[in-house]
Amino acid sequence: MPGTDAREAARTVVGELDALPHLPELPARGPGADMIGRGAGLLVELYTQVEPSGWRFADRPGRDTRRANSWLVEDLDALEEFTQGWTGPLKVQAVGPWTLAAAIELKHGEKALADPGACRDIAGSLAEGLRRHLADVRRRVPGAEVVVQLDEPSLPAALAGQVRTASGFQRLRAVDRQIAEEVLRGVVRAVDAPVAVHCCAPGVPLALLRRAGAAAVSLDLTLLTQRDDDAVGEAVEGGTRILAGVLPGTDAALSDPAGSVAVVRRLWRRLGFDPESLARRVVVTPSCGLAGASPAYARRVLSQSVTAARSLADTPE
């Protein structure tokens, strides 16, 4: 979400998303509130610090780790305030292990993605951190049915060998798809909650995510082509729900909600599925995060997402 006010962000999210609110993230506050910093702060017995080149593992917790933890507590306090008496689904987000490994450098300077052992250590540490995080969320919001979203925007690049080295002059070796699936599965199984994987990059590995145990996949629907239909269809047939990103994540003219719904309906028709099942299997969302949007647009796009999602239940003429 945009801005730096945790209470305002929580008020907006809970007010607009009355069926599935989430714990807001506010990266505009700086290092530690950004996606990677927030994720690194969840790691157990692995510590990071900010270097000129970005995030890097450190020997002990320092100022950057403390800042990330402090902002997470502030966000949880705000969410707890506005979810008093809440019962129902509540989503929390965390960066997935492969995106963390593609972003954080080892102590000697190369990205953790280059070291298979480091990748497994990150996944194990993240799994334990998520367990603790979810326990805290459930303590604060006892009626919550927690859903976990793992953000993996770097996964397609890691699988394709497109992640650049720390120097930027070369690319790291592609991650073996079987290993990628195994590591993700370990994190998914360790979390006592349904897991959705979000990837707003082209080439989302839907089959891999489904086999790893993802209950839902969140993707930018505008990046899909008809060549992706088979993978989407197999995922839906296998029981995977689709969080369809069809609304712009930054300020733009928003068409009538019917326009967003039409994009989803066209995909559903191409896949040959029963229109009556659409609202049960697909949720309309922004294409990616809203950190780059204005606060007014963020509220508007969340409201339109809800309107569009509800209209999926209407029988098309």
**DSSP per-residue string spanning 254-269:** ---HHHHHHHHHHHHH
Q: Are strands 54-58 and 47-51 parallel, antiparallel or unpaired?
A: antiparallel
pLDDT tens-digit readout, 157-189: 999 999 999 988 999 999 999 999 999 999 999
> Please, are residues 89 and 19 in contact by the beta-carbon 8 Å criterion?
yes
Task: Give the residue-averaged pLDDT of 142-171.
Answer: 96
pLDDT of residue 62: 94
Report the distance separating Cα 253 and Cα 247, nearest Å: 10
Tell me: pLDDT of 257 over 80. Answer: no
- pTM for the model: 0.95
pLDDT tens-digit readout, 53-74: 999 999 999 999 999 999 999 9
**% of the chain surpassing 70 pLDDT:** 99
DSSP 197: E
Kindly report the average pLDDT of the chain as a whole number: 94
- Topology of the domain comprising 6-311: TIM Barrel (3.20.20)
| Boundaries of every domain in the chain | 6-311
> Please, are residues 179 and 205 in contact by the beta-carbon 8 Å criterion?
no
